[in-house]
Structure 1
Amino acid sequence: MTVGDLLNLLSAYNPDTPVRLAVNPFFPMAHLLGGVESAVDEQGRRVVYIAESKEAVQFGPLPPAVAVALTWQPPAEGPSRRRRGATGPHTGQ
């Protein structure tokens, strides 16, 4: 992804919309962004890094719909509900 790709994706949203960072596909969590920095990588290319907040604010689990949209989790359906029989002693009458 390039800066242009990211700007293009973000342009679909209201500029006042909060942004959070989704991390760890195996235990998806949402984090507060802390800044943007750049450096030169091993091949001499400029790379932009989006950082987590210095306070390491974690907002908790990523909403399941976001994890599915990122293809980190398959869509899940709730278990089917079957009518259960009555429980307790039978009087036999």
Structure 2
Amino acid sequence: MDPQNPDTPELTVGELIDQLSALDRSATVRLAVNPFFPMAHRVAGVVGARDEKGMPLVFLADGDQLGHVPPDVAVRLTWQEPTVAPPRGRRRAARPTGQ
């Protein structure tokens, strides 16, 4: 699933369970939202529903905002490109005034 491509099929509950099954069961769950200004949110709840065609849906409710999504997570979500800090050159020493 590509979160940037709206033509990509949506994630199913089965696929989500498969992906979550590979992770630490004691890990805290967070939502990563807004790829242009990535923020982390608590999951406030899980609700089953039906769409306008009667197909089953599951909503993960957005809770409190907790801060920024870590840069490595934004990269793995393909929201940002990996970045490397530019090399630092030697700093020049300041000259005393009057010379």
Q: TM-score, normalised by structure 1?
A: 0.85
The offset of 1:14, in angstroms, is 2.0
Whether 1:67 aligns to 2:74 is yes
Is 62-71 or 36-45 further displaced after alignment?
36-45
Whether 1:87 aligns to 2:94 is yes
The alignment's C-alpha RMSD in Å is 1.7
What's the counterpart of residue 49 of structure 1? 59
| Whole-Å separation in 1 of the counterparts to 2:53 and 2:21 | 30
What's the counterpart of residue 6 of structure 1? 16
User: Deviation above 3 Å: which 4+ runs of structure 1?
Assistant: 89-92
| Whole-Å separation in 1 of the counterparts to 2:43 and 2:91 | 48
The offset of 1:86, in angstroms, is 2.7
Aligned to 2:35, which of 11, 25, 28? 25
Q: Secondary structure at the match of 2:73?
A: helix
The offset of 1:91, in angstroms, is 8.0
| Whole-Å separation in 2 of the counterparts to 1:12 and 1:84 | 47
The percentage of aligned residue pairs carrying the same residue is: 52
| Whole-Å separation in 1 of the counterparts to 2:97 and 2:46 | 69
Which segments of 5 or more consecutive residues in structure 1 lack a partner in the other structure? Answer: none
Which segments of 5 or more consecutive residues in structure 2 lack a partner in the other structure? Answer: 1-10
Q: Secondary structure at the match of 1:65?
A: helix
